[in-house]
Amino acid sequence: MDKLLYGVAYYDEYMPYERLDKDIQMMKDAGINVVRIAESTWSTHEPQSGVFDFSSVDRVLDAMHAAGIQVIVGTPTYAVPTWMVKEHPGVLATTVQGPGKYGARQIMDITHPTFLFYAERIIRKLISRVSRHPAVIGYQTDNETKHYNTAGDNVQLQFVKYMRNKFSSLDELNKEFGLDYWSNRINSWEDFPSVVGTINGSLGAEFAKFQRQLVTDFLAWQVGIVNEYKQEGQFVTQNFDFDWRGYSYGIQGDVDHFAASKPFDITSVDIYHPSQDELTGIEISFGGDVARSTKQSNYLVLETEAQAFWHWVPYPGQLRLQAFSHLASGANMVAYWHWHSLHNSFETYWKGLLSHDFEPNPVYNEAKTIGRDFARLSPQLVNLKKTNRVAVLFSNEALTAIKWFGFNFTSDKKYNDVVRWMYDELYKMNIGCDLIDPSAESYEGYDVIVVPALYAASDALLERLNQFVQDGGHVVYSFKSGFANEHIKVRSTRQPGLISEACGISYNLFVEPKNVSLRDDPFEVGEEQNQIHTWMELITPTTAEVLAWYDHAHWGEYAAITQNAYGKGKATYVGCYTSSEVIRKVLESVMKEAGLWGADQELAFPIIVKSGVNEQGNTIRYFFNYSDQATSFVNAYGDGTELLAGTAVSGGHNIELEPWGFCIIEQ
Amino acid sequence: MDKLLYGVAYYDEYMPYERLDKDIQMMKDAGINVVRIAESTWSTHEPQSGVFDFSSVDRVLDAMHAAGIQVIVGTPTYAVPTWMVKEHPGVLATTVQGPGKYGARQIMDITHPTFLFYAERIIRKLISRVSRHPAVIGYQTDNETKHYNTAGDNVQLQFVKYMRNKFSSLDELNKEFGLDYWSNRINSWEDFPSVVGTINGSLGAEFAKFQRQLVTDFLAWQVGIVNEYKQEGQFVTQNFDFDWRGYSYGIQGDVDHFAASKPFDITSVDIYHPSQDELTGIEISFGGDVARSTKQSNYLVLETEAQAFWHWVPYPGQLRLQAFSHLASGANMVAYWHWHSLHNSFETYWKGLLSHDFEPNPVYNEAKTIGRDFARLSPQLVNLKKTNRVAVLFSNEALTAIKWFGFNFTSDKKYNDVVRWMYDELYKMNIGCDLIDPSAESYEGYDVIVVPALYAASDALLERLNQFVQDGGHVVYSFKSGFANEHIKVRSTRQPGLISEACGISYNLFVEPKNVSLRDDPFEVGEEQNQIHTWMELITPTTAEVLAWYDHAHWGEYAAITQNAYGKGKATYVGCYTSSEVIRKVLESVMKEAGLWGADQELAFPIIVKSGVNEQGNTIRYFFNYSDQATSFVNAYGDGTELLAGTAVSGGHNIELEPWGFCIIEQ
Amino acid sequence: MDKLLYGVAYYDEYMPYERLDKDIQMMKDAGINVVRIAESTWSTHEPQSGVFDFSSVDRVLDAMHAAGIQVIVGTPTYAVPTWMVKEHPGVLATTVQGPGKYGARQIMDITHPTFLFYAERIIRKLISRVSRHPAVIGYQTDNETKHYNTAGDNVQLQFVKYMRNKFSSLDELNKEFGLDYWSNRINSWEDFPSVVGTINGSLGAEFAKFQRQLVTDFLAWQVGIVNEYKQEGQFVTQNFDFDWRGYSYGIQGDVDHFAASKPFDITSVDIYHPSQDELTGIEISFGGDVARSTKQSNYLVLETEAQAFWHWVPYPGQLRLQAFSHLASGANMVAYWHWHSLHNSFETYWKGLLSHDFEPNPVYNEAKTIGRDFARLSPQLVNLKKTNRVAVLFSNEALTAIKWFGFNFTSDKKYNDVVRWMYDELYKMNIGCDLIDPSAESYEGYDVIVVPALYAASDALLERLNQFVQDGGHVVYSFKSGFANEHIKVRSTRQPGLISEACGISYNLFVEPKNVSLRDDPFEVGEEQNQIHTWMELITPTTAEVLAWYDHAHWGEYAAITQNAYGKGKATYVGCYTSSEVIRKVLESVMKEAGLWGADQELAFPIIVKSGVNEQGNTIRYFFNYSDQATSFVNAYGDGTELLAGTAVSGGHNIELEPWGFCIIEQ
């Protein structure tokens, strides 16, 4: 990227009246220099099978180019036209709920040859038409692609072939997956039952993994087609999204982001998050860390919120804070979904920069200041390079496995809750980190690896982590790590499996805590924060030092949190679900031991510090105030220049931050 | 109607043993002078296709006639017989849940020709048989007819034809409904997808409107058949019901009551409501106001509760209070569902006047006093004429639209909650009102129109309302009014659309309030009642006076409630969901400005005043005590006669009301 | 049984590696003398249709025999193999949700001839192979058999034939079931609609009864086959389970335990229950009382919890307490589900005696002490004979009927709640009791019958209960008893139907209590416990004495609880749902009147006393401390021997019980 991009999704096709020139004028006023188009409007571009009408694409490209606004063109395959489904209802994904119904997006079977035939044709027609247009800087394939739970007979057949390829024999499969249980044994490949009704967690999780592979394959196939037309300097990207809990909460369980991102030139994501009094910046940071880590490179935020919903309309200052927070995590682009607010259909209240009346409004007006600053500061802020010494190891296998084998019957906690329980404290301590997944073969460059609930993991992965400790690294495991292998087969060794060795502990009982706390409040967090919940393992240390014991009439002899010196490193094991305060204290202690405690950590949320090195080789530090109260901090980083105001700052002096304010210091 | 009717639904077919003579004797004792029969028992009257057995009808008619009890005969079409469904399963409505299952009532496709063929045959057989019987005073077509969500392929085909008729071209449809969104565009009528899966609110709402039209058409078709047999002096009616929330809560979204009531001679309704400590009379008033307004005439209460369920068994006095409350709203008939309590099947605990043992009981005994008073006071109380200067404008289009686009993600508030939020305060202030819907072409006679959440409205409707204000009327709008057109397309002008002009305001941001109140408690309602919830629009007054500002750190510059002089009238706009107390104060102030504040309003709930003019041209005033405590009020209406006691009352004197008591004064 | 059995379910087929010898050694160490095998692994034993492989059965039998461990062999029919469903998908039960999906156990249509053909073949193959093996002591047919809601066309056809057989004519059926209602009348057998959509409670309940009969028939059919091979000294049993609310809560509504147990030599059950701080022993007692009562004989606990789930891992001492509690209720066997913890599939966290690591753990270690004591004390403890003078009369017809006609709209109380409300207080008062159902023709030997919510009952049954009172017995009825006949047709007499006579009361109104208590706290239980909830009948005593009146402004004239002398006995009627304290006081008073108050009752929960007579004719008394606190009691039973310690105890002396401790005294 040669400059910061500030963009919007733009849908000429949705406009209630002719708006193009007026919209472009307003975009220019706001510093918008890129628009994303076409990813949702197949039925407009191909009104009947084989009849194409790209007039809205053409005119937008021409007008944008004339205005100096660049364009990212999406392949319009994530929402299928009416004529296709009318003619071939089978293109809709059959799921555990049965055949699909037309209406929503993202309801097709992404493996269906009819869909693939039509998809390939429109991709080739569209991309070949636009690829040499001077406005086009890149392409997005499909959108927020997932597998949509496709599980019809044809998918089942592919799965059986996949299994046949994976296992040398049915005996091996039956043994590894424990299919004798409840007479589920498969004694002939022809007998392989549809997995939609399976109660076997290993089989269910393997099917989920297979479904994620379908996504990887489908996207690679699209990239292959688009690459045939891609011109020098253009890029191909995909818009990944995250586990959705009303906002972008955590790891996306339906896509392997690291695998799927491989064929792309650059990773893009969409990030939506709470706002107003609930704005913390965590999701911006988390989503950015995932995106950046997929290719260890800068990324694009292809979608984020402008006005969005009633509970997200930003307070004054928040839109700016959010935009620069994306940059601080390594984004080179911030684009809003979307320019205007829709007058019909479904997402009518998911509002864009403009309201339905297309008039300037407080949010749009704030965007204008962002556009100006992006343009002005682009040379210093684009292509920020970030180097982190901490990694969070996540696993889609573990995520899926914990869907099958949850923590208890009364809690709704899931894998991503554990990820966020650990990640959020790193964020609040201003510990920059990467995300890695089980495919990472080397942990070089990292001093600390944080491992939430690695329930399903191969021996090789656990051995790699043991080796990392042996070689001097620090690992912090949560409960449930190491318990089952990559096929969700529980290990028949002492728990926590192979990592028992590095952790110096073992257990074979675990219970649901009721009124259990840590004995003598070892982290001095106070009575409420000292309570544990959801899950506790009854740990016996072998060589480990005990950091916390349980306080309970009958389980008081067991350890809750331990630390073990192993080789040159240390492994910390947190055997229960603690409060935020406790896990924070554990992580803080590990960071200090690992030599990762510095000026950034002396500040803490709501002051968030993010840094990197710019193209000029200078360190850029962002200081964000995620709070409705003004605050200040002492500049512990020496002299530099505050870029927004263009003023010099001196080390040791106080720097003021407004409510939801921030500053950027170059050194 | 030449007299007050006091009735019950009577099912000879359900009796566990021969009861007719004994039942009639007990009815006579209770003053029952009309029974409703036959609407539920098709399978008894036509045990096999084309084989008819009306013996239970015949004998009931004869016996009732002999006893001087009149009869309303229902067409038995709302519950289909077993043989029909066995032979033609397709008569059951296919809905979004798939094909129907036999068992309940109201499960058929009311457009299916097989059903219509059989329905017509039984109607003609039954009505031709009974129409000249001297006991028969009228007919009820079907019962609580709705569309039962019928949405099978045949219904879909009719809908496509309806759409083809409505829109001159697909281009127009695609544009108006925004179908380009998510590739929903329909480029050939053959491609029109089934709407059961649609995510397009405009399409979904139009289908709901089409479904309501099916009800209107079906009922008109039945009336046409019955009219062929109807004799002089007989009437045809339908038993409409209301939005059901465990009781008759609000506007019925599945029927257009005003349109559907046109072919009928008289409108009937059923009204069920909370009782015991929760008895307020609001539902009696609301349902009555709707019923009376459909034809601006008296109406029948074809069903209301006797003992009903365990939580509704009336306290002593309540059954009387309820019966006369119906009359006070303009009813000429009060009938219980039902005479006895069912010994089998489904509604076994929905108890009638009699318990399962058929013996006298406290509720039946109280009914006896009502029957006596109805008979005695009928000349003074029948055909009460009511004239109201306030109307509440409701809209089924708005109701449907708000199903699609609700207030926020955490509230379960719906359109009818807003209707009731405003209506209830009118009721409690003793402001009599009519209900009108968008089909009303003139507002003559009204001084004030109250408009809850008129989210979807045509330009013509909004202009009519503007004109009403211009001409001197008062309109009170709630939030969300004027936002979208009649096709649920959000207006692309400033909000609240065309009514901005009369209201003198505009806004383009709206948020979900959290800890927001009205600044400085402008209505002096106290801290709790001063909170707002669910929805707030960030209003900028143009010419309006601000009645309340928001109290919030960031939204404090916006107005919450405004009032604007426009032409000779005033438009009040309530931009947020307030407490009952606040909306009451707003309405009170408007009523005072409109000159509608008088003696009735100086009383207030739990004393409810209802009045009208009787056939003698005298004013009848009912004073109800909706409370478990005795109360009294000063007679501010001058001299008159209290009809129950037959005593003279003088102006300025105190009148006592017992717990759940009432009096009726004629002047 | 010639000795106490201490067992586990053992699944050689599920083992992750060769474990047999090691497992047997650990079993021997723990005193395990019986294992249950084979009931879940059809697909292992018959990998393809007609291809059999019983090698795991053979080797386990041989190894167990060599070790002196006995074996119960299950017929593996409750979970069907993949090949059967692939070839014949129709063997899966079609339910109201539609056709079944392969995966879980207990999903087949137990009436389907294809299933029956294959089931018979594997039963004959397996049982003929093992029946002469010296390790085999008995057989279990199927497992936790129920009807799985099977309701496909074939089942419906059988039901119509059943109805045709039951009712002499459709007229009789229509009348008895009230089918005229909502046009449900059936005028030709061909028209009989599928009951899956029925809204007629009588029809729905009759279908449920028919489905229970299917279970009885299916089990009898299996027993017949197994009996062909059964050798002298072997037994056939079935593993019944209970109403599941996350544990074994109450009467199993899908099986008639008394009818279904007839063909078996001995009744077995599985009992799972809360543990840790929630351990009360109630479910052990209740399930045991049901099991013992089916054949008035000792029974086996074929499954109960070892470690089980996280919230059930027993505190030290609890596993022992539980094991001996089973014996105290008349069990001759206690077996854990299961030996080891599963490494795959579905019940991975339903842990056995061993954890996934197969190593000794605290729970296993405690089991070792139990095994030793069982072996040592078997001569004194086996075949305990119990004689009770109190019976609780339950009814599956009433249970089903109350599913159709629940208590109110806001309560989730069901039939079993009422059963437990009464049973639990008997338990806590140490009143031993049997369970009887409507099939009991004589109540000889009982002094008191407790009758919870006998909503549906034949005239004959109610007359039998009246006669029991007349003859000197005491009956305690709860509300809702006597209301409807055996076809769920509400009686058209005064309520509570025929028992009005013995109870000396009548009512015809009933309401949902809101803020209602008993006047003047007649049982001196304090304000909170004096409240009633869920249901209240407005009772007028005819000859009864009133034990409690309602305290309510409008219902205060009615009686809540009454007692009536009738003949030589007394009938107590509790017309409302009271607190535990109140029903306890009522029951206590009745027990005292019936002369059933003694030393056991002077103790009370958490001290639980259970007793019986052993084979030596001596009285065995168990004293359990269901509490985390040590306690003691005075021995009011004279001299004896405490069997665990082998020490003499003297009358009048104090006996100490540890937390969760117990003692056993032989006299």
CA-to-CA dists, residue C608 to C202, C600, C619, angstroms:
41, 8, 16
Tell me if residue B353 falls in helix, strand or coil: coil
Report chain A residues whose CB lies below 8 A from the CB of C13.
180
- pLDDT tens-place string over residues B544-557: 999 999 999 999 99
Residues in chain B with CB shorter than 8 Å from the CB of A628 are: 553
Q: Does residue C336 register a pLDDT over 90?
A: yes
Range C264-293 average pLDDT: 98
Which chain C positions have a beta carbon within 8 Å of B315's beta carbon? 553-554
What are the two backbone dihedrals, phi and then psi, of residue A339, each rounded to the nearest 5 degrees?
Answer: -65, -60
Q: Which of A283, A303, A501, A588 is catalytic?
A: A303
Those residues whose C-beta lies under 8 Å from the C-beta of residue C602, and which sit 6 or more positions away, are C636
Give the per-residue pLDDT at B1.
83
- The helix/strand/coil state of A496 is coil
Two tokens, residue B547: 């009645």
DSSP state of C277: G
Active site includes C593? no
Of B326, B314, B317, the C-alpha closest to B386 is B326
Q: Check pLDDT > 90 for residue B320.
A: yes
Instruction: State how far the Cα of A556 lies from the Cα of A496, in Å rounded to an integer.
Output: 20
pLDDT, position C589: 98
pLDDT in tens, B109-164: 999 999 999 999 999 999 999 999 999 999 999 999 999 999 999 999 999 999 99
Query: Is C182 near chain B, with CB under 8 Å?
Result: yes
**Domain A5-144+234-381: CATH superfamily, name plus number:** Glycosidases (3.20.20.80)
User: Where on the phi/psi map is residue B383: left (φ > 0), alpha (ψ -120 to 50), or beta?
Assistant: left
What does the pLDDT read at residue C190? 96
Query: For chain A, what's the residue count?
Result: 667
Contact B183 A80 (CB under 8 A): yes
pLDDT of amino acid C1:
83
The structure tokens 């963009």 sit at A7
What is the least distance, in Å, from the CA of B198 to any CA of chain A?
4
Residue of B191, B494, B516 to mutate, interface with A, max A Cβ within 10 Å: B191
**Shortest CB distance from C85 goes to which of A179, A193, A512?**
A193
Calculate mean pLDDT across residues C638-656. Answer: 96
CA dist., res. A594 & res. C136, Å (int): 63
Interchain CB distance below 8 Å, A185 and C79:
no
Residue A143 in marked binding region: yes
Instruction: Please give the radius of gyration of chain C, using alpha carbons only, rounded to the nearest integer.
Output: 26
Of A144, A366, A486, A501, the active-site residue reads A144
Mean pLDDT for chain B overall: 97
Check B182 against A309: CB less than 8 A apart: no
User: What's the pLDDT score for residue A99?
Assistant: 95
State phi, psi for B64 to the nearest 5 degrees: -65, -45
Which pLDDT band, with edges at 50, 70 and 90, does A126 fall under? very high
Active-site residue (options: C46, C206, C283, C303): C303
Nearest neighbour of C190 by CB, restricted to B86, B316, B342: B86
Asked if A495 reaches chain C (Cβ–Cβ under 8 Å), the answer is yes
Element (H, E) at B470: helix B459-470
Query: What residues does CATH 2.60.40.1180 cover in chain B?
Result: 606-666
| Cα nearest neighbour of C179 on chain B | B345
Cα separation, B57 vs B60, in Å, equals: 5
Torsion of CA C372, C374, C375, C380, to 10 degrees: 140
Q: How far apart are CA B4 and CA B34, in angstroms?
A: 10
Q: pLDDT at residue A357 above 90?
A: yes
**Average pLDDT of the residues in C215-227:** 98
Other CB atoms within a 10 A radius of the CB of residue A293 amount to 26
Identify which of B225, B227, B290 has the alpha carbon closest to the alpha carbon of residue B258: B290
B504's tokens: 């003198």
The amino acid present at B198, given as its one-letter code, is T
Q: Note the CATH number of domain B390-595.
A: 3.40.50.880
| pLDDT score recorded for residue B271 | 98
Q: Between the CA of residue C340 and those of C14, C191, C241, what are the distances in Å?
A: 9, 53, 21
Nearest C-alpha neighbor of B280 from the set B431, B433, B428 = B428
The minimum CA-CA distance between A198 and chain C, rounded to whole Å, is 4
**pLDDT digits 0-9 by tens, B23-32:** 999 999 999 9
Task: Give chain B positions within 8 Å (CB) of A83.
Answer: 187-188, 191
pLDDT in tens, C553-604: 999 999 999 999 999 999 999 999 999 999 999 999 999 999 999 999 999 9
pLDDT for A24 equals 98
Closest by alpha carbon to A63, among A30, A22, A97, A95?
Answer: A22
CA C336/CA C303 separation, integer angstroms: 5
Region A369-383: mean pLDDT is 98
Token output for A66: 């004339």
**A209 band by pLDDT with thresholds 50, 70 and 90:** very high
Q: What is the rounded average pLDDT of the residues C297-320?
A: 98
Quick check: B185 and A81 CB within 8 A? yes
The answer to whether the Cβ–Cβ distance between A191 and C82 falls below 8 Å is yes
**DSSP secondary structure string for all residues of B152-195:** SHHHHHHHHHHHHHH-S-HHHHHHHHTTTGGG----SGGG---G
Q: In the prediction, which pLDDT does B215 show?
A: 98
pLDDT tens sequence across C153-163: 999 999 999 99
Confidence tier at C189 by pLDDT (50, 70, 90): very high
> How far, in Å, CA of B191 to CA of C167, rounded?
53
Question: How far off is chain A from C415, nearest CA to CA, in Å?
Answer: 25
> What contacts C518, CB < 8 A, 6 or more positions away?
C530, C532, C548, C549, C550, C551, C560, C561, C578, C582
* pTM for the structure as a whole: 0.97
Asked if A358 and B492 come within 8 Å (Cβ–Cβ), the reply is yes
Q: How far apart are the first and last CA of chain B?
A: 22
Question: Looking at chain B, which subunits does it touch, using at least 3 CB pairs closer than 8 Å as the criterion?
Answer: A, C
C494 is in an annotated binding site: no
C284 to B16, B306, C323: CA distances (angstroms): 44, 47, 9
CATH for C606-666, options being 3.40.50.2300, 3.30.390.30, 2.60.40.1180, 2.30.110.10 = 2.60.40.1180
Q: Which residue has the tokens 């009311």?
A: B110
DSSP characters over A170-193: HHHHHHHHTTTGGG----SGGG--
Q: Under a CB-based contact definition with an 8 Å cutoff, are residues C210 and C159 in contact?
A: yes
Which of C39, C46, C144, C425 does the annotation list as catalytic?
C144
pLDDT at position B284, please? 98
* Cβ <8 Å between B187 and A316: no
Measured CA to CA, the distance from residue C605 to residue C631 in angstroms comes to: 11
Beta bridge partners of B610: B622
Query: How many whole angstroms separate alpha carbon C71 and alpha carbon C129?
Result: 14
Write the pLDDT tens digit of every residue in A594-618.
999 999 999 999 999 999 999 999 9
Alpha carbon distance A183, C122 (integer Å) = 13
Q: What is the pLDDT of residues A516-533, one digit of tens each?
A: 999 999 999 999 999 999
In three-state secondary structure terms, C502 is: helix
Specify whether the CB–CB gap between A33 and A335 falls below 8 A.
Answer: no
CB within 8 Å: B182 and A105: yes
What percent of chain C is predicted at pLDDT more than 70?
A: 100
Specify the domain boundaries for CATH 3.40.50.880 within chain A.
Answer: 390-595
d(CA B416, CA B282): 14
Which residues face B561 on adjacent strands?
Answer: B548, B574
Percent of chain C residues past pLDDT 90, beyond the cut:
100
Name the residue among C192, C198, C489 with its Cβ closest to that of B103: C198
Query: CATH 3.20.20.80 spans which residues of chain C?
Result: 5-144+234-381
Pick from B13, B100, B344: which is nearest to C177 by CB? Answer: B344
A227 vs A262: CA distance, rounded Å = 14
pLDDT in tens, C244-272: 999 999 999 999 999 999 999 999 999 99
With an 8 Å Cβ cutoff, are C16 and A489 in contact?
yes
The separation between the first and the last C-alpha atoms of chain C, rounded to the nearest angstrom, is 22
Taking the CA of residue A267 and the nearest CA in chain B, the distance in Å comes to 23
A344, B181: Cβ pair inside 8 Å? yes
B348, pLDDT greater than 90: yes
Report the pLDDT value the prediction gives residue A1, as an integer from 0 to 100: 83
Minimal CA separation from A100 to chain B, in Å: 9
pLDDT at C552 over 90: yes
Minimal Cβ distance to B76: which of C183, C191, C509? C183
| CA A56-A57-A59 angle, 5° bins | 65
Q: Known catalytic residue: B303?
A: yes
pLDDT tens digit string along A83-100? Answer: 999 999 999 999 999 999
Strands B331-337 and B390-393: unpaired
- pLDDT value at position B221? 98
